[in-house]
Structure 1
Amino acid sequence: MINTIIFDFGDVFINLNKEESINEFKKLGLDGPNEALLQLNDDFERGKITEEQFLDGFKKHLPNVSTDEIKAAWNSLIGEFPLYRLEFLQLLATKYRLFLLTNTDIIHMENFENQVGISFASDFYRCFEKVYYSHEMGMRKPDAAIFNFIIKKHDLSPKRTLFVDDKKENTDAAELLGLQVWNLQPHEDVVDLFQKKFMNATLHA
C-alpha cells in the first residue's frame, strides 16, 4: 500500500506558460533555446551559478536588453496555481507522507511566492514533510542520486512510494529505482487523476 507521495511542482500543481515564455524571449530578440542557454539553465537549477551569473549569461545573447527585461521574460513561464489543487493537497496531506521535488531556480521560486502571496505559499509548503529544490540540493532530476538521497534521508520504501511528474524521463528514472510512478500527461489534471487512480485497487497492492 502506498504511504508516501513525491510530487513534482511545475505542470503538476502550478501551470507553466512554456509557449508564452518562448514568445517573450523572441520579442527580446532570442530565436529560441540553444545549447549554451540550456547548459546555463542546467547549471542554475543545480545551484552551480548565482542569479547574477545566470542573467549575465543571457545578456551575452541579448546585449541590448536590460536585466529586468530578461528576468520578466524568464518569469513569464510561471502561470496559475488553482486553489482547488491546494485544497486537494491539504486533504491528501492528512493521509500520506508528502514531499515536493522540483527542478527549479531561485528566480522562479521567488516569483511564485510573490505571485500567490505568503499565505498561499505557506499553506502549500505546510502540506509537505520536506520541500526539495534542485538549486539547493546541487543535483536535479532525472539524476538517480536525487531520488536516492530522499529515499535514504527519510527512510522511504520505494515500492510504497509514488512519484508524480510530468516529464517521462523523470518518472522513468524513478521507476528504475523501484518507485511507483505516474507520468502526468498534458491533458490530465493531477486532482482528477488521483480521484480516478485512488479508486483502483492496484495502486494499493
Structure 2
Amino acid sequence: MINTIIFDFGDVFINLRKEHSIEEFKKLGLDGPNEDLLAHNDLFEKGKITELQFINSFLKHIPNASIEQITKAWNSVIGDFPLHRLEFLQLLSSRYRLFLLTNTDSIHINRFEHKVGMSFYSDFYRCFEKVYYSYEMGMRKPDAEIFNTIIRKHDLSTKRTLFVDDKKNNTDIAESLGLHVWNLQVGKEDVVDLFEQKHLPL
C-alpha cells in the first residue's frame, strides 16, 4: 500500500501560463525559446548560475529590454494556486508522507511566495516532510539521481511511493526506478482527483 507521495509543483498545484510568458517575451522582441536560452534555463534550475547571469542570457537576444522587463516576462508564467488544491493537500498530509520535488529557480519561487503571501505558502510548505527545489539540489528531473537522493535520504520504499508529475519523461524515469507514478494530464485532470485516478484509500 502507498504510504508516501512525491509531488511536482507547476501545473500540479500552481497553474502555469506558459503561452502568456511566451507572448510577453515576444513583446520584448524574443521570438520564442532557443537552444542558448534553454541551456541557461537548465543551468539556472540546477543553481549553477546566478539570477543576474540568467537574466543576462536574455539580453544577448533582446538587448533593448531592461532587466525589470525580462524578470516580469519570466515571472508571467506563474498563475493562480486554487485553494481547493491546498485544502486537499492538507487532508493528505495527515495520512501520507508527502514531499515536493520541482524543477524551478529562485526567481520563480520568490514570485510565487510574494504572489500568494506568507500565510498561504507557509500552509502549503507545512504539508510536506521536505520541499526539494532543483536549484538548491544542484540537479533536476528527469535525472535519476534526483529521485535516488530523496529515496536514500528518507529511506523510502519505492514500492510504497507514488510520484505525481505532469511531464511524461519525469514519470517514465521514476517508474523505471520502481516508483508508482501518475502522469497528470494538465487541463484534463486535477490533483484532487488522486484517489479517483489511482484508487488510493483515504
Under TM normalisation by the shorter chain, which class is it? Answer: over 0.9
What displacement does 1:144 show?
0.2
Letter aligned with residue 190 of structure 1: V
Deviations 1:121-155 (A, max 9, x none): 00000000000000000000000000000000000
Aligned to 2:191: 190
Please identify runs of 4+ aligned residues in structure 1 that moved more than 3 A: none
Counterpart-to-counterpart distance in 1, 2:159 and 2:66:
49
Counterpart-to-counterpart distance in 1, 2:116 and 2:195:
25
Output aligned runs, 1:117-196, within 5 Å. Answer: 117-186=117-186, 187-192=188-193, 194-196=194-196
What displacement does 1:166 show?
0.1
What displacement does 1:36 show?
0.2
Output aligned runs, 1:1-205, within 5 Å. Answer: 1-186=1-186, 187-192=188-193, 194-197=194-197, 200=199
What displacement does 1:39 show?
0.2
Counterpart-to-counterpart distance in 2, 1:111 and 1:96:
28
Unaligned runs of 5+ in 1: none
Counterpart-to-counterpart distance in 2, 1:6 and 1:164:
6
What displacement does 1:46 show?
0.3
Counterpart-to-counterpart distance in 2, 1:85 and 1:9:
11
Deviations 1:147-175 (A, max 9, x none): 00000000000010000000000000000
Letter aligned with residue 77 of structure 1: V
Counterpart-to-counterpart distance in 2, 1:18 and 1:65:
20
Counterpart-to-counterpart distance in 1, 2:37 and 2:57:
8
Counterpart-to-counterpart distance in 2, 1:46 and 1:30:
24
Counterpart-to-counterpart distance in 2, 1:65 and 1:13:
31
What displacement does 1:195 show?
3.3
Letter aligned with residue 47 of structure 2: G
Counterpart-to-counterpart distance in 2, 1:134 and 1:25:
24
Residue correspondences, number: 200
What displacement does 1:197 show?
3.0
Local SS of the residue matching 2:47: coil
Q: Which TM-score applies when normalising by structure 1?
A: 0.96
What displacement does 1:52 show?
0.6
Counterpart-to-counterpart distance in 1, 2:184 and 2:114:
26
Q: Which TM-score applies when normalising by structure 2?
A: 0.97
Counterpart-to-counterpart distance in 2, 1:85 and 1:102:
17
Local SS of the residue matching 2:56: helix
Letter aligned with residue 55 of structure 1: I
Local SS of the residue matching 1:98: strand
Local SS of the residue matching 2:13: coil
What displacement does 1:19 show?
0.5
